[in-house]
Amino acid sequence: MPNDFVPVARPHLGQEEVSAAGRAILSGWVTQGPEVAAFEREFAEFVGAPHACAVSSGTTALHLALLAVGVRPGDEVITVSHSYIATANSIRYCGAKPVFVDIDPATFNIDPRKIEPALSKRTRAILCVHQMGMPCDLKAILEVARKHQLPVVEDAACAIGSEISWQDRWERIGRPHGDVACFSFHPRKLLTTGDGGMLTTADAEIDHKLRLWRQHGMSVPDTVRHSSREVVFESYPELGFNYRLTDIQAAVGREQLKRLPEAIAQRRQMAARYRQLLADIPGLVLPAEPEWARTNWQSYCVRLPEATNQRQVMQHMLDEGIATRRGIMCAHLEPAYSAPATWRCAQIECKPDGSCPNLAESERAQSRGVILPLFSQITEEQQDRVARALRQACSIRIQG
């Protein structure tokens, strides 16, 4: 790519992370160990959670969270199709079926009004997604969940540092407000360890299950066994997984956590600047926070004017040296979900092409949304270029 190319995202890593990784490597303990334990403590303190358990990815976090709240083969889990496919996949890993409900177009998040009509006798849990860092309406979701005695798992993969107004005070996503919250440390996220994840919960029993299952169900953690002055024989009382985070990753994560408040403040300034630059483009819909939410602005997704073509707009931007991404995918439109038995929605038949009238807002968000470049190192000049190119692209009439 040319030197002036503007990527859609770029991880913010520096010498501090290099030194931290080197510290872990030279310590001789490079898999799950003391750095992971320290990262868990610091992460829990940051979000205000009693417990935090590190794992190998956001996807494995979702899988363990669903198992921990009791999702088993034959169950159903209410969620959105409009999310990265890992959300729906994690339900299927449990042998359960995702039940897709539509989103609120104002926030790209699950529409709480659509949850209750989608419930069945097989419903075991609700999996809500804080899409692109924008908090869900947890108050409304939890009202439905408690009415029907259902656990709530928060897919907070993108939402580290986002906040919600809760009982007249601002609290960070991950406190958690549901039963378990799941985070991702993929390079697209504000906090990255290359890959990795974290689960937070207020339930000590759930935390115990997560720690057991992430390491093959081993009864004694490595840290306990290696520090014991007596010989310890571990056992494996139940089936587990190899979902550990390494100490190298955790050491990097600890440095990233220190950067996080500044990174969020920067993104909020950048998002405000985009709003100023783009406000007068006819027909363009800009993202906005509900009064009860503060997003970390992990992504800045606009809705294109109706008279434009998404692919043509994105190609024009790319021709100008600017990367974009289409709106968040819909799992039900992917080949992996083409079989009717893989998912369910409310009682409206899907069309032969796989589209679903019951998920119209989700499909529209994918086909009309464009994610613009946003990262810690983006300059005002780069934002100006993005705005100019988008303005030009939105003036081009649909071709073909």
Q: Which residues are catalytic?
A: 189
- Helices 247-278 and 34-47: angle between axes, nearest 10 degrees: 30
CA angle, corner 158, sides to 155 and 160, nearest 5? Answer: 95
Give one DSSP letter per residue of 235-291, joined into a string.
---S---B-PPPHHHHHHHHHHHHHHHHHHHHHHHHHHHHHHHHTTSTTPBPP---T
Give one DSSP letter per residue of 3-26, joined into a string.
TT-B-S------HHHHHHHHHHHH
Give rounded-to-5 percent helix, strand, coil for the chain: 40, 15, 45
Query: What whole-number distance in Å separates Cα of residue 198 and Cα of residue 188?
Result: 16
Query: What whole-number distance in Å separates Cα of residue 110 and Cα of residue 101?
Result: 7
Backbone torsions φ then ψ of 156, nearest 5 degrees: -105, 30
- Read off the tokens for 365: 């968000």
| Conformational region of residue 262, where left means phi above 0, alpha means psi within -120 to 50, and beta covers everything else | alpha
**CA-CA distances (angstroms) from residue 1 to 9, 176, 264, 317, 318?**
14, 41, 28, 14, 11
**CA gyration radius for the chain?**
22
Query: What whole-number distance in Å separates Cα of residue 154 and Cα of residue 173?
Result: 9
- Answer yes or no: are the C-beta atoms of 47 and 261 closer than 8 Å: no
